[in-house]
Structure 1
Amino acid sequence: MPGPAARPAPDRGRTVLGPALALVHTGRAPTRSALTEALGVTRATAGAVASELAALGLVTVDARPAGGGRGRPSHRLAVDPAGPVVLAAQIHADGFSVALAGLGGVLEEPVDLPLPRPGDPGRVLRAVAEAGARLVAASPRSCLGAALAVPTPVAEPDGTALAALYLDWPAGTPVTDLFAAAVAEAVPGAALPTAVANDANLAALAEHRHGAGRDARHLLYVTSGHRGVGGALVVDGRLHTGSAGLALEVGQLVVDPAGRPCPCGRRGCLDVEADPPALLAAAGRTPRPGEPLLDAARAVTRAAGRDPAARAAVDRVADRLGAGIAGMVNILDPDRIVLGGLHRDLLAAAPERLPAAVAGQCLWGRRAGVPLLPAALERPDLAGAAELAWQPYLDDPSAVAA
């Protein structure tokens, strides 16, 4: 495949190669004319950029112009369905998942597996890497990198997991280095770049690029998967991670000082008042052996319309979640709030009560008018891991040819 040296672009075109790929990747440049307008370049430069991205095997340029609008018809642009992929992985309290993902935010069919026992970090990460390696080996498409979403804050720049409370990993586990070593062993000879980040941060990034958070300037994302509550803030398209990657640990907001004990040592944290175990406890339900906590909790939300105990549990947890979100709104002033995981189901089961709980404790009340929306992506954590793995190539598409 010819690289950038074989298909030179104008200097201006080369500086916008990454932004151009990002526009196609997020669906914001479906035609060459849309790319021209979004980049603020000439048609000739946009054409050269599109051609170089096509030469790299990242996008396709349809020779049949797209009509239907004013002015000259324009060539269609799309991500190349036969182009390279990345490996996305996610670990949660009930298991782990792996999937391949091309550009465009679309995952191939994920594989979900239980955590190995014992679940020490090295053993778990080797299992993740080996499952991913099987997908890479079975795919005809080249793999450019791997990234992992984990249910813990990951300190920057050292890449240590500081509080993997629900995995029972020691504080300071060098998760980034361990994952890199596991991938190198499982996919020998490929030298795949790897990265690890907090699952809520990555889910927020995916929702902002491809889901319910598109075009939001200040996006607050709040979610609960299998245990605990996560949150993230995207400002002007970039994650706000703080000085060391540890910002927006929203699960540690106390919403009931006399509430359930939290693994952090306090009581009533959002982590334990608005997650699946909290909803199940409030409803007096016990998951069946082997049943994921999230699936069991979602069954409670679906039963809320006909089961008084389920209704009371949904209302209780919605009130706790609303109090936590109101506190975040008072501090962060987002223009959109997206709810993922169990919280998306709570919004569906309590479409009036949950927004009212937020408005009732928000400084601006209902006048704040912050939209409260369900997440649009089915697997935002995995999709976010894919975004993390793709990021070096979105920054510099020519690295594909390296």
Structure 2
Amino acid sequence: MRPERGRSALGPALELVHTGRAPTRAVLTAELGVTRATAGAVAAELAALGLITVDSRPAAAPGHQGRPSHGLSVNPDGPVVLAAQVHADGFRAALVGLGGHIVATAPGCMTVPADPAHVLAAVVEEGAELLRATGRTCVGAGLAVPSAVAEPDGEALNPLHLAWPAGAPVRRIFHECLTGSGIEFAAAPRAFTGNDVNLAALAEHRHGAGRGSAHLLCVATGHRGVGGALVLDGRLHTGSAGLALEVGHLTVNPDEGLPCHCGGRGCLDVETDPLALLTAAGRAPGPEVSLLQQARELVRDEYADPAVAAAVALVVDRLGLGLAGLVNILNPDRIILGGLHQVLLAAAPERLRAVVADRSLWGRSGGVPVLECTLDHNSLVGAAELAWQPVLDDPLGVLEG
């Protein structure tokens, strides 16, 4: 029979390996505050579950004195979760392992219909095909959507850039698609759903540019619109009903701003997204590729064009105003930018940081770092984090029942 203390340490130990904070058994022992024997037993149990690997022949680091410690890493051939993201230009499905590692991915381009069941059925079908092709064991599924997601029912309250009705019960629909798909889950299938930028922030905090931050603010453009998220001490701040940090509807251009889908004018959502940049540069968006890709390519390939440079400066200034307001309210210790915003930061870093510093109370004295997101498909990785969380909380309970 397993010692109760050892069992209770399985989840915390797995999370430490999952996030890269325990690369060796010695570090795991120190982080858990247990004996070396207990840490060894915990690591062996996680390895027996197929979740991590333990280096059986550790090598001493150069200059290291004493017995070398066994290395710990997530099992590259272990179970996966099905992660999916729906956006204005279609969807993407992926299989994601522990450590945020994307094992396989498949994009699906389609006009997203008004009935979310149609696109979610396609998402699950793509995921099922990936599972058949890879032969992996699936332990759960997570979905990222471009909308605030109300808790506890998982309703997409404001899918402004999709044709979905407000309040669409996407979590229930996603779960129904999964249960009817024929996918064999390691445990009873559980469906998780969250806002795409919230999930991007969670992924970046655990595996990317936000690691080590205690008060992380993420602001990002998707294919359309702008979203924000706040991670406090490792947990998403979602508010009382999952609706916090709708930063896209901060007003940054009240006098001459564009009308916003929310009914306001000059919101961050319509003043700093890909369409705003293309419009400011005098470029008509084309149908061939997504607006996000067109805007990225415009900055990458045509920044020397004075019209493009002026458009970048205009959008950067408005983005900086919005970030400064958020700094005044939230006092983060780090800001990370995703989507088009990280491209704008790379193109005009001094200008953006100067606007934030000049217009925020704490910008000059606190020097809040403004960084680019670093993960590819971070909303997908974040959706996977939702699906992995029950395993991180209780590995034995989920995988062995």
TM-score (norm 2): 0.96
- Name the counterpart of 2:109: 114
Q: Deviations over 1:145-166 (max 9, x none)?
A: 1110000000000111100010
Shift >3 Å, 4+ stretches: 116-119, 188-191
Q: What's the counterpart of residue 355 of structure 1?
A: 353
Query: Who is 1:291 aligned against?
Result: 289
**Displacement of 1:74:** 0.7
The change in CA–CA distance for 1:49 and 1:298 in structure 2 (over 3 A counts) is same
Question: What does residue range 291-330 of structure 1 map to in structure 2 within 5 Å?
Answer: 291-303=289-301, 305-330=303-328
Aligned length: 395
1:241-256 equivalences under 5 Å are 241-256=238-253
Residue of structure 2 in register with 1:19 after alignment:
12
SS of residue in 1 equivalent to 2:286: coil
Q: Shift of residue 305 of structure 1?
A: 3.7
- Report Cα offsets for 1:338-383 as digits up to 9, x if no partner: 1111111000011111111111110123222100000010110111
TM-fit CA distance, 1:272: 0.4
1:113 is paired with a residue of what secondary structure?
Answer: strand
Partner of 2:378: 380
Aligned to 2:102, the other structure's residue is in SS state coil
Q: Describe the shift of the 1:250–1:70 C-alpha distance in structure 2 as closer, same or farther (beyond 3 A).
A: farther
Counterpart CA distance in 2 for 1:346 and 1:295 is: 13
State whether structure 2 residue 393 is matched by structure 1 residue 400: no
Distance 1:70 1:239, change over 3 A: farther
Structure 2 CA distance, aligned partners of 1:197 and 1:279?
A: 27
Partner of 2:25: 32
**In structure 2, what is the equivalent of residue 3 of structure 1?**
none
Equivalent residue number for residue 124 of structure 1: 119
Give the partner amino acid of 1:181: E
For 1:133 and 1:303, the matched residues in 2 are separated by 38
Q: State the alpha-carbon separation in 1 of the partners of residues 306 and 150 from structure 2.
A: 43
Residue pair 2:96, 2:104 contacting (<8 A) in 1 also: no
Q: Could you tell me how far apart the structure 1 residues matched to 2:106 and 2:217 are? A: 29
Do the aligned partners of 1:9 and 1:52 also contact (CA within 8 Å) in 2?
no
Equivalent position of 1:178 in the other structure? 173
In 2, distance between residues paired with 1:44 and 1:188?
A: 39
Is the 2:89–2:111 contact (alpha carbons within 8 Å) kept by the matching residues of 1?
no
What does the per-residue CA deviation read over 1:106-133, in whole Å, with 9 as the maximum and x for residues that have no partner?
1123211112564421111111111111
Which of 69, 90, 98 is 1:95 aligned to?
90
User: What is the identity percentage for the equivalent residue pairs of Structure 1 and Structure 2?
Assistant: 63
Letter in 2 for 1:386: A
SS in 1 for 2:180: helix
Of 157, 166, 169 in structure 1, the residue corresponding to residue 164 of structure 2 is: 169
1:140 CA displacement: 1.7
1:213 paired residue number: 210
Is the contact between residue 31 and residue 66 of structure 1 (CA under 8 Å) also seen in structure 2? no
Contact 1:304 1:314 in 2 (8 A): no
Distance 1:117 1:336 in 2: 34
Contact 1:283/1:300 (<8 A) preserved: no
Distance 1:30 1:169 in 2: 44
Partner of 2:199: 202
The 1-side partners of 2:148 and 2:258 are apart by 22
* Mapped partners of 1:359, 1:130: distance in 2: 47
CA distance in 2, matches of 1:87, 1:160: 20
1:285-321 per-residue CA deviation (whole Å, 9 max, x = no partner) reads 1233221111101122214541101101100000110
Secondary structure of 1:74's aligned partner? coil
Which residue pairs with 2:366 in the alignment? Answer: 368
Contact 1:220/1:334, CA 8 A, preserved across alignment = yes
What is residue 49 of structure 1 aligned with on the other side? Answer: 42
Please state how far the C-alpha of 1:70 moved relative to its aligned partner: 3.9
Q: Show the counterpart of 1:339.
A: 337
1:118 and 1:275 map into 2 onto residues whose CA distance is 22
- TM-score (normalizing by structure 1): 0.96
Deviations 1:136-195 (A, max 9, x none): 222222111111000000000011110001012111111110111111112355442111
Structure 2 CA distance for aligned equivalents of residues 253 and 240 of structure 1: 18
- The answer as to whether partners of 1:202 and 1:385 remain within 8 angstroms in 2 is yes
The aligned amino acid for 1:371 is P
Q: Give the residue type in structure 1 aligned to 2:219.
A: V
Q: Go from structure 1 to structure 2 and tell me whether the alpha carbon gap of 1:66 and 1:237 turns closer, same or farther (over 3 Å shift).
A: farther
Q: 1:70/1:262 Cα in 2 relative to 1: closer, same or farther (>3 Å)?
A: farther
Q: 1:121 to 1:157 in 2, by over 3 A?
A: same
Distance 2:332 2:113 in 1: 41
- Tell me, what secondary structure is at the counterpart of 1:352? helix
After superposing the two structures, state which structure 1 stretch, 191-200 or 273-282, moved more. Answer: 191-200
Please, which moves more after superposition, 211-220 or 103-112? 103-112
Shift of 1:66: 3.6
Q: CA RMSD in A?
A: 1.3
Unmatched segments (≥5 aa) in structure 2: none
C-alpha separation in 1, matches of 2:209 and 2:285: 30
Q: 1:81 is matched with which residue: 72, 76, 79?
A: 76
1:200 Cα offset (Å): 0.5
Q: What is the deviation of 1:71?
A: 3.3
CA displacement at 1:31 relative to structure 2 = 0.8
Residue type of the partner of 1:140?
A: G
